[in-house]
Amino acid sequence: MGREVRRAWVIARAAVLTALFVAGPASSEVQKRPIGPLQEAIYGFAVAEYCGLITPAVAEGFYLQRDWIVARDGIGPDRERADRMAANMAADWQYGDHGLGGYRGWCRTEGLAAAFRFLDFREAVLGK
């Protein structure tokens, strides 16, 4: 009985070590900037939201742009979810990195730029 338990333990340990080796080193590094057009749009919306710049027109522009990017690039639900998570985590990190009061400059630059991009996209698509 002892020999069988030891053998099972060795096999289980080998499986865990193999899984760790295949997965590579764990990274605690947070993606700090969006990558790709979908992440850029989601990140911009998150920044505008942090800054209190979301209006119905800005939100509509974001949803139109997001849907257009997803359709244009053939992005599936799994990738969309992964991009959404990465972009929101990047926005969270940036907000925290700017510190107390430091986010005001972030809002004047990135926040306003994102809001205007969504308004421009909405106007281009809907003509309003």
In a domain, 10, yes or no: no
Containing structural domain, residue 120 = 31-126
Q: How far apart are CA 18 and CA 78, in angstroms?
A: 26
In a domain, 8, yes or no: no
Nearest residue to 45 via CA among 83, 102, 75, 77 = 83
Which pTM does this prediction carry? 0.74
In a domain, 92, yes or no: yes
Contact (CB, 8 A) for 53 and 45: no
96 Cα distance to chain centroid: 15
Summarize pLDDT for 54-100 with one digit per residue, the tens. 999 999 999 999 999 999 999 999 999 999 999 999 999 888 877 76
pLDDT at 28: 54
In a domain, 9, yes or no: no
In a domain, 15, yes or no: no
